[in-house]
Chain A
């Protein structure tokens, strides 16, 4: 009996691999989109970065 290169089983395996691949890619895209939205909603996030940063300091009282 000649060996068939493509068995029905290979189709099922491919469906599994492609399915998982698409699901993972979709998940990555979704988390990326979520990150972009979250960062945009919160606004610029700055903290102490070893040197004082004017934009991260509390607003100063105007000098009298």
Chain B
């Protein structure tokens, strides 16, 4: 008897395990893009209101992460990359993750409505619903287009940030949405190309599994090609500037070159060098998104100091 108790105790969660439930790394991207959306908006926001809004957006994103971990615990347990997450490793019970997810979702949406406005709160609620229900429950296990449509969930934060400041939606916020939305497929498929075994084992219908790797390479290049005009287009709206346009031109050229290489080569060539080009494209995709939003921030800062280079 006592021994079972000891093993139970051994699995008891510390605070860090609950924090890990909120997917802190995804959250950092959400915080950054939401903050950029808020700062580049033409309406100034009081710093305290901005801080609260960003925090509640982050909590909302974390809550949807917890809901995802509750629903996907069975998949996470068999994938190497995710087996150590709090639920599959047994440190946090699945229904505890559900409770935390639901409670934090409600808290985040209500508090964002109070701190900012109803539109921002509505967008946040929709994002959580989209990620937890549409993506995790309906799409992820049923269609290879899962990440394309599911990418919308990750694309909402800058739009929410913009809505916090302006109370509305605009061309600029829609384009920031489109940038992340179009960026998600090449980003994830580059990952899927070199993390082959994981998704196979978990029976997640990634494009690599359902339609083969040749088709995936085609898709990576196709989406990268259609991503470029969206990214450059932002440069010609009110939030764009010389820094953004220059950064975007360089990054898109690099990203296209990387995607071209991944597209042109076949499986034996990729296996020969341990998927070097695919790994490189994946790493580049991370800095691609970060630097685009960083450049928007630089241009907004320049404008606020009255430096109009346009």
List, in ascending order, chain A residues with CB within 8 A of B16's CB.
Answer: 15
List, in ascending order, chain B residues with CB within 8 A of A41's CB.
Answer: 46
Is A18 interfacial (CB 8 A cutoff)? yes
Is A56 interfacial (CB 8 A cutoff)? no
The prevalent SS among residues of A at the interface is: helix
Nearest-neighbor residue (CB-CB) of A38 within chain B: B49
List, in ascending order, chain A residues with CB within 8 A of B12's CB.
Answer: 9, 12-13
- Contact (Cβ within 8 A) B115 A34: yes
Given contacts A30-B55, A33-B48, A34-B49, contact A18 B15 (CB under 8 A): yes
List, in ascending order, chain A residues with CB within 8 A of B9's CB.
Answer: 7, 9
Q: How far is the CB of A50 from chain B (nearest CB, A)?
A: 29
**Separation of A37 and B51 alpha carbons in the complex (Å):** 12
List, in ascending order, chain B residues with CB within 8 A of A19's CB.
Answer: 15, 18-19
Q: How far is the CB of B147 from chain A (nearest CB, A)?
A: 32
A-B pairs with beta carbons under 8 A, tally: 37
**Separation of A12 and B226 alpha carbons in the complex (Å):** 49
Nearest-neighbor residue (CB-CB) of B48 within chain A: A37
Given contacts A30-B52, A34-B52, A34-B115, contact A12 B46 (CB under 8 A): no
Is A20 interfacial (CB 8 A cutoff)? yes
Q: How far is the CB of B298 from chain A (nearest CB, A)?
A: 28
Partner of A37 from B10, B13, B46, B55 at Cβ < 8 Å: B46
**Separation of A25 and B49 alpha carbons in the complex (Å):** 18
**Separation of A20 and B16 alpha carbons in the complex (Å):** 11
The prevalent SS among residues of B at the interface is: helix
- Contact (Cβ within 8 A) A16 B18: yes
**Separation of A11 and B19 alpha carbons in the complex (Å):** 16
**Separation of A53 and B4 alpha carbons in the complex (Å):** 70
List, in ascending order, chain B residues with CB within 8 A of A37's CB.
Answer: 46, 48-49
- Contact (Cβ within 8 A) A15 B14: yes
Q: How far is the CB of A9 from chain B (nearest CB, A)?
A: 5
**Separation of A55 and B13 alpha carbons in the complex (Å):** 56
Which of A7-41 touch B at CB < 8 Å?
7, 9, 11-13, 15-16, 18-20, 30-31, 33-34, 37-38, 41
- Contact (Cβ within 8 A) B14 A12: yes
Q: How far is the CB of B248 from chain A (nearest CB, A)?
A: 35
List, in ascending order, chain A residues with CB within 8 A of B46's CB.
Answer: 37, 41
Nearest-neighbor residue (CB-CB) of A23 within chain B: B15
- Contact (Cβ within 8 A) B10 A9: yes
- Contact (Cβ within 8 A) B115 A16: no
Nearest-neighbor residue (CB-CB) of A7 within chain B: B9
| Closest 3 A/B residue pairs (Cβ) | A19-B15, A12-B14, A15-B14
Which residue numbers of A lie inside 8 Å of B, CB to CB? 7, 9, 11-13, 15-16, 18-20, 30-31, 33-34, 37-38, 41
Question: What are 11 of the A-B contact pairs (CB < 8 Å)?
Answer: A12-B13, A12-B14, A16-B15, A30-B51, A30-B52, A31-B111, A33-B48, A33-B52, A34-B48, A34-B49, A38-B49
Which residue numbers of B lie inside 8 Å of A, CB to CB? 9-10, 12-16, 18-19, 46, 48-49, 51-52, 55, 111, 114-115
